[in-house]
């Protein structure tokens, strides 16, 4: 009887997922209406995970295997002074972000997998440093998740500042869904918030909870690899990988539980159910979810006047299907999906530069500039 009960749950869950799949099927662009061209501006990159734009128009790019590149005037220069990077599976040198007042203080923030600390293996760390010539100086470790693990999955690891100057970062559940995401005394499967110098804000939700990790801002996450500030509301939005189905977009809220793995719209990679619940009291619903999974990575809001048809939209990369997805929003809801850059490669990141242009980081290709047609 137990076998047939599990089989029935799997069938019902698959039916539910298919209904969502039909409802949210992404549409390919009409070739006659494509209103942009693409240009590879930084070629020959392997896995360009993060990118940040310096005031002089040059670019910092992280390669996952552990190289920080400064691209300026058509030349790539490797930056020295990085900490030891633990490269395993999805772990390595990951995101990079400038301080909102970078012109005044010069701080650069980056996330990486580190073997420092308790246990064998590695876990996600956050560091800040300054760029002097072709080297990082004044390196300061701001946060190190623990304990380490030899598992190669789910390091998270996006960075974003909010309007008040707090730094948010994501750390995935490290493929330990049964222990990490729902336990606030443990790192991993969380969104964190700290001051720009690593101090814990006094109004973080769990600062007075015994044994809790004080930097946690929200929990119940799986593997968030997209993070962006909503330019209209100032809210921090993340998207995160589901298992087989159930990638999510979530609007982060203080102290909230986003459910993983107690509730999910996904199933195990084997096709068996994780849970029969997609909702539960005390757990947040996603703003949007994908079935099937697109394996989202990188996220930005379009605010530039250069792309009038896309202004106000969210862009997210798809690793699995190798395209950039445009999500049109109305009243905070996704009402339309469209493929961009279809078939160009695994889109690891998407950023809008200070000059208003959009740049996508494609694995095995490089940094691609999206030029609107005149």
Residue of 320, 326, 315 whose CA lies nearest to 351: 315
Told to judge if 195 belongs to the known catalytic residues of this protein, a careful annotator would answer no
Contacts of 132 (CB under 8 A, 6+ apart): none
pLDDT of residue 20: 33
Residue 1 confidence (pLDDT) above 50? no
296-324 pLDDT, tens digit each: 999 999 999 999 999 999 999 999 999 99
Residue 120 confidence (pLDDT) above 90? yes
Taking the C-alpha atoms of residue 154 and residue 121, their distance in angstroms, rounded to an integer, is 13
Pairing state between β 67-72 and 236-240: unpaired
257-311 pLDDT, tens digit each: 999 999 999 999 999 999 999 999 999 999 999 999 999 999 999 999 999 999 9
Q: Write the CA distances from 176 to 141, 166, 207, integer angstroms.
A: 25, 28, 24
Tell me the pLDDT band of 29, cut-offs 50, 70 and 90: confident
123-181 pLDDT, tens digit each: 999 999 999 999 999 999 999 999 999 999 999 999 999 999 999 999 999 999 999 99
Residue 19 confidence (pLDDT) above 70? no
Residue 189 confidence (pLDDT) above 90? yes
What domains appear along the chain, each with residue ranges and CATH number? Answer: 2-30+58-292 (2.120.10.30)
Long-range contacts, stretch 81-85, CB < 8 angstroms, 24+ apart = 81/129, 81/135, 81/136, 81/137, 81/139, 82/112, 82/136, 83/112, 83/114, 83/125, 83/127, 83/139, 83/141, 84/114, 84/115, 84/116, 85/112, 85/113, 85/114
pLDDT of residue 27: 76
Catalytic pick among 6, 70, 99, 154: 154
- The structure's pTM equals 0.93
Q: Is 343 exposed, middle or buried (0-12, 13-18, 19+ CB in 10 A)?
A: exposed
Query: For the chain, what is the largest distance between any 2 Cα atoms, rounded to a whole number of angstroms?
Result: 68
227-261 pLDDT, tens digit each: 999 999 999 999 999 999 999 999 999 999 999 99
């Amino acid at each position: 009887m137990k076998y047939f009960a599990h089989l029935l749950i799997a069938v019902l869950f698959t039916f539910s997922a298919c209904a969502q799949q039909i409802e949210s099927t992404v549409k390919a662009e009409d070739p006659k209406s494509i209103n942009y061209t693409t240009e590879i501006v930084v070629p020959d990159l392997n896995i360009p995970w993060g990118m940040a734009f310096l005031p002089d128009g040059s670019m910092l790019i992280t390669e996952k295997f552990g190289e920080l590149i400064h691209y300026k005037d058509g030349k790539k220069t490797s930056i020295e002074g990085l900490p030891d990077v633990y490269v395993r599976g999805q772990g390595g040198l990951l995101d990079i972000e400038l301080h909102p007042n970078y012109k005044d203080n010069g701080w650069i923030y980056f996330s990486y997998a580190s073997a420092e600390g308790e246990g064998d293996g590695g876990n996600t760390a956050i560091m800040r440093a300054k760029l002097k010539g072709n080297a990082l100086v004044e390196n300061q470790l701001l946060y190190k998740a623990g304990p380490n693990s030899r598992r190669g999955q789910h390091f998270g690891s996006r960075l974003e500042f909010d309007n008040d100057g707090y730094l948010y970062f994501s750390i995935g559940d490290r493929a330990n869904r049964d222990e990490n995401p729902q336990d606030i005394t443990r790192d991993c499967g969380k969104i964190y918030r700290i001051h720009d110098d690593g101090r814990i804000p006094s109004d973080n939700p769990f600062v007075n909870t015994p044994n809790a990790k004080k930097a946690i801002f929200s929990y119940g996450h799986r593997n968030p690899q997209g993070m962006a500030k909503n330019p209209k509301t100032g809210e921090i939005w993340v998207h995160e990988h589901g298992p087989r189905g159930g990638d999510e977009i979530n609007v982060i809220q203080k102290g909230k539980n986003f459910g993983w793995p107690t509730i999910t719209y996904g199933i195990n990679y084997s096709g068996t159910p994780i849970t029969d619940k997609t909702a539960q009291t005390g757990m947040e619903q996603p703003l949007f979810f994908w079935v099937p999974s697109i394996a989202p990575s990188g996220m930005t809001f379009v605010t530039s006047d250069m792309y009038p048809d896309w202004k106000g939209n969210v862009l997210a990369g798809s690793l699995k299907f190798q395209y950039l997805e445009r999500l049109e929003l109305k009243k905070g809801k996704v009402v339309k999906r469209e493929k961009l850059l279809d078939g160009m490669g695994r889109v690891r990141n998407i950023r809008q530069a200070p000059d208003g242009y959009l740049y996508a980081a494609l694995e095995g290709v490089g940094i691609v500039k999206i030029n609107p047609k005149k």
